[in-house]
Structures are given as C-alpha cells and as structure tokens.
Amino acid sequence: MRGTCLSNASRSAGDQNNPLIFFCHIELKRIICASNKIALPFRLGGKSIKLFIPRGHTMARQKWIYHISTGIAVGILLAGCSGFKDASPKNFTGALNAYYGNHDDCLFQSSIHFPYEASTAGSEKDSKIKSLDALEGAGLMKSLEDRDIHIKRYELTTYGQRVPPRFCYGHRVVTSIDGFTPAAAVDGMKAMQVNYHYKVMDIPGWADSDQIRKAFPDFAKATSADAQGQTTVVLTQNGWRVPE
C-alpha cells in the first residue's frame, strides 16, 4: 500500500504551474501513506485542527488530498501577502529604511557654492563661519581672510571636492518604532507621523570628530546613542512609504 501511495505522488497537469500546491499535495500524501489514522492533527495559525482522511476509493482520496492541499497553499499565500498595509512597526521600519537607504543626512540643508565669501564684520558676521572653520580643520577646505574688507574666502581642498555639496555624512537605520499618530488624510492619502530611534551608518572619517560635533549640534544629536526622529509616512497601493 505504501508503494502505491508514493507512486501516485507525481505532479498532475493541473499542478504544473502551482509549485506551492504541488508541495502541499506531496506532503499530505507522504503523511497519509505513513499513517493509518483517520484523523490527521496539525496546527494552523496557533489553532489545533484535525483533517479527516477518507478511506475507500483511491480517486476519492486523491480528490480530497488535492482540495486540502490547494486550500493550505492559498492560506499560505494569503498569510504572506496580507498585512503589508497595516499600521505596524514592521511596515513602518521597512518604509523608513527604504527611504533613508537612498537619502543621506547632511550637515547643510542646501548646497554651498565655492569659493564662498563670508563676512567677518561685526553684526554682519556670517553665521556659517564657525561651521566652515570646523570643516577646514577636518581638511575639507582652506581659507584666506582679507581683514581690510572683512571677508574670509573659503575654497575646497582636493579632499573636500570628493565630499557631496551638502556635506552628507551617512544614512539612518531604524532601531525601534516608538509610536505613531492617528491616521489623517494628506493629499488624498492616509498619512501618519512615526516616532522612532535610529543609528547613523557609514559615517566618514572627516565627520567623526568632536570638532565637527561641536560645530554642528544637529549632527551631534543624530550620531548620539539616543538618536530620535519623526517622519511622515503615507499609505500607497504598494504599502507604506515616505513621500519625497
């Protein structure tokens, strides 16, 4: 009888394009052939279920096996596909990491064009001087000050020319989702504010110094052990994402 069961375990024409159904089909046959029990217990979704195996005609058993294996396969597929639109930490983590994997954090919100001339005169003193001096100390630029006209001129070094214009220093990787706001409609889409902790990865050597952290408080906060962020995510047909 065992040999008969295994010889009938070939793939039917209807299963050729359904490998998951075929797998379930074969596994059920294997279990049935190895067991003389009428009731086959197994667990699905945390619940204990018994499948009653029909005795008697071989065709009836084959039909039963095919229907049950198809149902199990469909259940597996649905379990794998459902939930990607849920407001869950897992989905938010995926959306945030996908976005920040392609969007580095930077020291400046907009690009600085060089050579850059900064005023050093009293109340007109350029607010970027402290930051630019720190970058000069990191070897990214050099400066020349004309005290007669109160101008300090900054130029990029060869090393500095290799750095992105906004002086980007790495990308975020979410370490935990701390909470999110109730859903609200934004431009016709469901949107939420997500609060999270993160770690900045791939920090370059020129940025990883106390001098840069002192000159750029936001950078110091972003690279601390307790870095926190808040980002808006929206629900699309393909799941949650961070809008551009």
Say if residue 115 is preceded by a cis peptide, omega within 30 of 0: yes
Top pLDDT among 89 and 38 is at 89
The count of other CB atoms within 10 Å of the CB of residue 24 is 23
Distance between CA atoms of residues 15 and 10, nearest Å: 10
Residue 3 has pLDDT above 80, yes or no: no
Residue 181 is given by DSSP the state P
Average pLDDT over residues 72-79: 52
| pLDDT at residue 123, rounded to an integer | 86
| pLDDT at residue 136, rounded to an integer | 98
Average pLDDT over residues 5-28: 51
Model-level pTM?
Answer: 0.65
Residues 147-174 pLDDT 10s: 999 999 999 999 999 999 899 999 999 9
Residues 120-152 pLDDT 10s: 998 899 999 999 999 999 999 999 999 999 999
Our measurement of the distance from residue 234's CA atom to the centroid of its chain's CA atoms, rounded to an integer in Å, reads 14
Question: Shortest CA distance to 236 belongs to which of 203, 171, 191, 198?
Answer: 191
The position carrying tokens 């009836």 is: 60
The count of other CB atoms within 10 Å of the CB of residue 160 is 19
Distance between CA atoms of residues 233 and 239, nearest Å: 10
In order, the DSSP letters of 174-233 are: EEEEEEEPPPEEETTEEEEEEEEEEEEE---TTTSSHHHHHH-HHHHHHTSTT-EEEEEE
Residue 42 has pLDDT above 90, yes or no: no
Average pLDDT over residues 166-188: 95
Residue 7 has pLDDT above 70, yes or no: no
Q: Is 151 helix (H, G, I), strand (E, B) or coil?
A: strand
| pLDDT at residue 187, rounded to an integer | 87
